[in-house]
Structure 1
Amino acid sequence: MARVQTIEGRDPYAEVEIQSGQRQNYGEDWNSGLFDCFSDISSCLRVACCGCIYGPYLATKLDEHCCVGCCAQLPLRSVFRVKQGIRGSICSDCCSFMWCGGCSVCQLAREMKHRQIIK
């Protein structure tokens, strides 16, 4: 179980100590909303038409095995969110993926573009 360490004069979400001793920054929101697909229509079309290829592409850009992009896009979203310090939880990732998986992957792609991980 992770414990939150508050540093005086800073936001309580600024730093979290994970059991392994690794520190992660938390506090940012997603750059775009879950249903902002029209803000980047190219990613939306790639997910809709070529999701079986685009998912593995996103995974490889995050230094994960390409099979993760095919079979485990939910954990891919969660790992990306934690590494990039985006607010949320596994529960919110699961809900967004379960009820709108395509939109969830599109949001991940838009965020990766915003952070210049992909073009």
Structure 2
Amino acid sequence: MNEEYDPELDLLKQCRLGPEFEPDAARRIDSMIDKKRRQRFVMFPQQWIERLSGARHIATYRVALRVLQRHGQCRGRPFPLPNNIEGVNRWAKSMALSELEQLGLIRVERRVRKSPLVAVVAPS
């Protein structure tokens, strides 16, 4: 093949950024996810603080934080509460939900072989 020298193409190749300057799509997506994770917070109402002063177990506080977090994410609708609460096993979660229900903060619908549906009664 006969290749002719094209000065414009050569100039264009010189202006092209190398692979070290190209943005990595995966890195951008990860940074967006990290920003969303950093923006999460939980508003803990004063009424909950007062009522939880009578709680007997630390798992109740941990579950209460997760319940309020999920309540905000679900915008007030009832939501399933799975067992992936850090530092709380499934038995402690069940006990904590019962205690929160006795304190009048939530309503729980227990379902067979499914995560319980939780509805916040007194969000503020």
User: Quick check: which one's helix share is greater?
Assistant: 1
Pick the TM interval, shorter chain: under 0.3
**TM-score, scaled relative to structure 2:** 0.24
